[in-house]
Amino acid sequence: MARPTVAGNWKMNTSLAEAKSLARDLRASIGDINGIDRVLCPPFPYLMLVRETVAGSSIGIGAQNMNYQEKGAFTGEVSPSMVAELCDYVILGHSERRALYGETDESVNLKVEAALKAGLKPILCVGETLAQREAGAAESIVGKQITKALDGVENASSLVVAYEPVWAIGTGVPATPELAAEIMGGVIQRNLIALYGEPAALEVPLLYGGSVNPDSVQGFMEQGCIHGALVGGASLKPEDFAHIVRTTAGVKGVS
Ligand code: PGA
């Protein structure tokens, strides 16, 4: 079975002091749980601090983005090897980056390849907008995002895929577990199986993201094809994030 995984996407939030206190609280509450990967994704300037704060625990660190190029005259950008010195994971293709910063399936593909080459685990984000869902295009959009992002990627062993319907992100209104499972156990899993074969595809952790909170997490985790969560707003509240991690571990039978 794919390893249960819960990642917190802090987005552009927290001060240095808040980042330290959040990481310290989480280290105390979820630093030593076995059988489930816990990943904190703070803003770039706090990666080092957060990494040092959780050092010695089994909490992983992730970045929220990176450039695909190795080095050079790219003012303001961060390379895969820079990220890999501090992180285990990198979130790629988040819908906010697609909508606000011009990320395309092609650039996400370059980033996934570069992340893997640098030894990082990409958390590849896919998901349809409300307009796409209402037009009946959710499946085809997500299928295209998956196949394009993974074009040329031969090995699935370090991949994590997050299904985040855009209309559920930051709205306080999550998708239903059934709707998420329809996409995740459907078009996402089908494409992964077509690309990598069933045994390897079934080892890829599939995370649901979009307004996950302590109240909604259980229903998502009860779906067999959902192995964890990518959490935005609730990841900034240490009790909420710890609750989401513990519920996931409990439902998946690893704690
Ligand atoms: P949210 O964000 O939990 O605040 O909806 C999720 C995400 O964007 O990863």
Nearest to 118 by CA among 178, 71, 181: 71
pTM greater than the 0.95 cutoff: yes
H or E element that contains 179: helix 177-183
The CATH superfamily of 5-251 is Aldolase class I (3.20.20.70)
Q: Is the CB of 233 under 6 A from ligand 1?
A: yes
Locate the ligand 1 atom nearest the alpha carbon of residue 235 and give its number.
3
Gap between the Cα atoms of 101 and 93, Å rounded: 10
Clarify whether 94 is annotated catalytic: yes
Confidence of residue 255 (pLDDT cuts 50, 70, 90): confident
Within 10 Å of residue 160's Cβ, how many Cβ atoms?
Answer: 26
- What mean pLDDT comes out for the span 173-182? 96
Domain residues of the chain, as ranges? Answer: 5-251
- What mean pLDDT comes out for the span 15-30? 98
